[in-house]
Structures are given as structure tokens and as C-alpha cells.
């Protein structure tokens, strides 16, 4: 990982207007940087806005406010020529490999398509050579080029998706839940493949997932999202060894540890209640309706994004020295009338 920032997301908002004055705040004021050559993991429950961020970075959704800069340029302000170049450099791998592959095209046609659109390898023979090379790079073989997606297993289909994403030789890949639809036994193989390709090609990844246990293995840094907000960001080891935000602590405590003694003595943080609706998010801290540590200030004041350690950031009043009364509401003595 270099110290060069390749992607900057700055106070990004993506709201969807649902009509009748209703606004779904899928992403609200999210900021982070991604360094060249790193894997930045973005995690959170489904519906937290992480995939919307990926799609807004790709320009598949218009932003509501804020900026996404790639290589110093605002991706939502690119002219047609710049957009063409941007889509060569940035590619996406999707969650459901079957739905993202055209069932009527052969694997060779699927992988060739981006090359044809971008006028790479206009000579068909050379283009097919490139297809064979890509198939081999992702652990398939050249005979697979004439087959159709339904002839492959889920893991193989995701390999085809990876080969297609690599066809234009990109610098940056957004992997949107690339292993969630796969069997556990296959997930590690796809993660290993992505890691190997990163090493060989110097790729940068934005790896979106809801499963914190798998994200740890591939990510250099991780951002945790809740209801459209980034609540914690730090390097992978610090997040797992010293999580600061009550939501991250709850997510981590739900991951089983394969040691019965440790598992038995662990304290579990159980999250109560459902994820609130992003159409009508709670006031103050959006996590307060489920937070075991929620205090009075949490209902009225939005927590600030602050550094709690080197490269460790969190949005939570527990770490804000200006908030004096930090007694959790649940533990406060009831007032007698
Ligand atoms: Fe919990 Fe309050 Fe921190 Fe939000 S700000 S996570 S409600 S303690």
C-alpha cells in the first residue's frame, strides 16, 4: 500500500426521493480516502448504504451532495471522454455472479465485451488470446471460453466476473459483496484469488461486505457503516482488537470464536431492536435506538467524527470530552414523581 490517495470520498450524500415528501437517506455525510494498492473494507448490515456508496463512486447513481474524486478528478463532473477513461480504470465485481452474467452469451463473449466497447484488441484473434490469458489468471482454462454461465458453479461464475472486471486492465476494483452468495468453502478461494491478483497487478480494492470475519483477512483498513453513516474507521487489526464504537463491538461479539473456553467466557453485546428506517432516522446519533451505552446527549446531538488513536476514527459521544454526563440511560435511576 502506498501513501498516495487514489480515491477521496468527501461528505458524500445519496438520498432517494420517494415522493410525498419522503426522502430515503441511503448515504449521509460519508468521508474516507482510499490509498493506492490497499484494500479498503466497507462493512455493515444490509441496508446500511455500503452498496449505494459503491454505486455512487462508480457514477451509477448521481450524488445528492459531496464529492467523489478519483485521481484528483470529481467523477461526477467528468466529460464523456474522461468518463470513458475512468470506466477503464475502475471496474466492479457484483454480489450475484449469475445475475451479472448474460446467460445467452458465452464466457468468451462476456469477457470480450468490455474490450470491444473500449476498442482494445480490435483483432479478434488477439482479443481471444487475451480472453484465454484472463481465464487462466483467474484459475479457469481456455476451454471454458465457449461455454455458458449456467454450466459453471457459483465460485467459477465469480471467477468469470473477476476475469471480466480485469479485461480492461483497471487500477481500481469495487467488489460489492463478491463472496456473500457463495458457499463458505468457496469464499476463501475467491478471497485468495483477489489477493493474488492484487499482488500481481498492484490493484486497489474497495471491498464491500456484511461479514466482518471475512473482511478482516483481505482488508488493510476497514470502515464500519450504520444507517447511511460511517461510524468507525481504522486498520484491520485495531478494529478487531480494539473496537471503539458500540456498534462495531456488537458486530464483533456476534462472530463465534473457534475456542470453546474463550467462547464461553466472552461477553456478548446483543443488539436490541430492528435497524430503523433510513426514511425516518433517529435524531442525534442514528445508532441510539439500539445502543446499550446511549446517554441523554445521544438523542439531541449528532456525534462528531474524531480521532481516538493514530489512524483510528470514530463517531460516538463516549469519546467526546465535551459531553460530561455519559451515564447510559438504561442504568440511570428512575425518577420518582
Ligand atoms: Fe451509542 Fe451514543 Fe455513541 Fe451513538 S453516540 S454510539 S448512541 S453512545
What is the per-residue pLDDT across 121-162, written as a single tens digit (0 to 9) for each?
A: 999 999 999 999 999 999 999 999 999 999 999 999 999 999
Is residue 164 within 6 Å of ligand 1 at its C-beta?
A: no
pLDDT of residue 337: 47
pLDDT of residue 307: 96
pLDDT of residue 220: 96
pLDDT of residue 43: 95
Q: Which is more confidently placed, 175 or 46?
A: 175
Is residue 303 within 6 Å of ligand 1 at its C-beta?
A: yes
User: Residue 332 and residue 329: Cα distance in Å, rounded?
Assistant: 5
Is residue 231 within 6 Å of ligand 1 at its C-beta?
A: no
pLDDT in tens, 219-273: 999 999 999 999 999 999 999 999 999 999 999 987 777 667 766 766 777 777 7
For a pLDDT cut of 70, what percent of the chain falls above it? 95
- Name the band, by pLDDT with cuts 50, 70 and 90, for residue 285: very high
What are the grid coordinates assigned to 319, written together?
469519546
Instruction: Work out which ligand 1 atom sits closest to the CA atom of 291.
Output: 1
Is residue 297 within 6 Å of ligand 1 at its C-beta?
A: no
Range in 28-42, 192-206, 260-274 the model is least confident about = 260-274
Check if the beta carbon of residue 212 is closer than 8 Å to that of residue 246: no
pLDDT of residue 235: 96
Instruction: Work out which ligand 1 atom sits closest to the CA atom of 247.
Output: 6
Is residue 244 within 6 Å of ligand 1 at its C-beta?
A: no
pLDDT in tens, 65-89: 999 999 999 999 999 999 999 999 9
Check if the beta carbon of residue 287 is closer than 8 Å to that of residue 246: yes
Flag whether pLDDT at 199 surpasses 90.
Answer: yes
N- to C-terminal Cα distance for the chain?
A: 60
- Residue-level length of the chain: 337
Q: Which is more confidently placed, 127 or 3?
A: 127
Q: What b-and-e string marks burial along 130-139, b requiring 16 or more CB atoms within 10 Å of the CB?
A: bbbebbebbb
Q: What are phi and psi of 117, to 5 degrees?
A: -60, -40
By alpha-carbon position, which residue is closest to atom 6 of ligand 1?
A: 316
| CA 16 to centroid of ligand 1, rounded, Å | 26
Is residue 287 within 6 Å of ligand 1 at its C-beta?
A: yes
Pick from 244, 246, 323 the residue to mutate for probing ligand 1's pocket: most ligand atoms within 8 Å of its CB: 246
Is residue 316 within 6 Å of ligand 1 at its C-beta?
A: yes
Check if the beta carbon of residue 240 is closer than 8 Å to that of residue 216: yes
For the chain, the domains span 245-331
Q: What is the average pLDDT score of the chain?
A: 91
Amino acid at each position: 500500500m502506498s501513501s498516495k490517495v487514489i480515491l477521496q470520498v468527501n461528505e458524500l450524500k445519496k438520498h432517494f426521493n420517494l415522493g410525498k415528501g419522503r426522502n430515503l437517506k441511503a448515504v449521509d455525510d460519508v468521508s474516507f480516502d482510499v490509498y493506492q494498492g490497499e484494500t479498503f473494507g466497507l462493512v455493515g448490515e444490509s441496508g446500511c448504504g455500503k452498496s449505494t456508496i459503491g454505486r455512487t463512486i462508480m457514477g451509477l447513481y448521481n450524488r445528492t451532495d459531496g464529492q467523489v474524486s478519483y485521481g484528483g478528478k470529481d467523477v461526477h463532473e467528468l466529460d464523456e471522454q474522461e468518463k470513458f477513461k475512468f470506466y477503464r480504470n475502475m471496474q466492479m465485481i457484483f454480489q450475484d455472479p449469475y445475475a451479472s452474467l448474460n446467460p445467452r452469451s458465452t464466457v468468451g463473449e462476456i469477457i470480450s465485451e468490455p474490450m470491444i466497447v473500449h476498442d482494445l484488441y480490435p483483432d479478434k484473434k488477439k482479443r481471444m488470446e487475451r480472453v484465454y490469458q484472463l481465464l487462466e489468471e483467474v484459475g479457469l482454462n481456455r476451454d471454458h471460453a465457449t461455454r455458458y454461465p449456467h454450466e459453471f458453479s457459483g465460485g467459477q461464475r465469480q471467477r468469470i466476473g473477476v476475469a471480466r472486471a480485469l479485461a480492461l486492465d483497471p487500477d481500481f476494483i469495487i467488489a460489492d459483496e463478491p463472496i456473500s452468495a457463495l458457499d463458505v468453502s468457496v469464499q476463501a478461494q475467491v478471497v485468495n484469488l483477489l489477493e493474488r491478483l492484487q499482488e500481481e497487478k498492484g490493484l486497489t480494492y474497495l471491498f464491500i461486505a456484511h461479514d466482518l470475519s471475512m473482511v478482516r483477512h483481505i482488508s488493510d483498513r476497514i470502515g464500519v457503516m450504520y444507517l447511511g453513516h460511517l461510524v468507525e474507521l481504522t486498520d484491520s487489526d485495531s478494529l478487531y482488537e480494539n473496537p471503539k464504537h458500540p456498534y462495531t463491538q456488537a458486530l464483533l461479539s456476534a462472530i463465534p470464536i473457534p475456542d470453546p473456553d474463550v467462547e464461553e467466557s466472552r461477553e456478548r453485546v446483543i443488539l436490541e431492536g430492528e435497524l430503523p428506517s433510513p426514511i425516518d432516522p433517529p435524531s442525534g446519533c442514528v445508532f441510539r435506538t439500539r445502543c446499550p451505552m446511549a446517554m441523554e446527549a445521544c438523542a439531541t446531538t449528532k456525534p462528531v467524527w474524531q480521532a481516538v488513536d493514530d489512524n483510528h476514527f470514530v463517531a460516538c459521544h463516549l469519546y467526546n470530552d465535551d459531553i460530561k454526563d455519559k451515564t447510559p440511560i438504561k442504568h440511570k435511576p428512575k425518577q420518582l414523581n
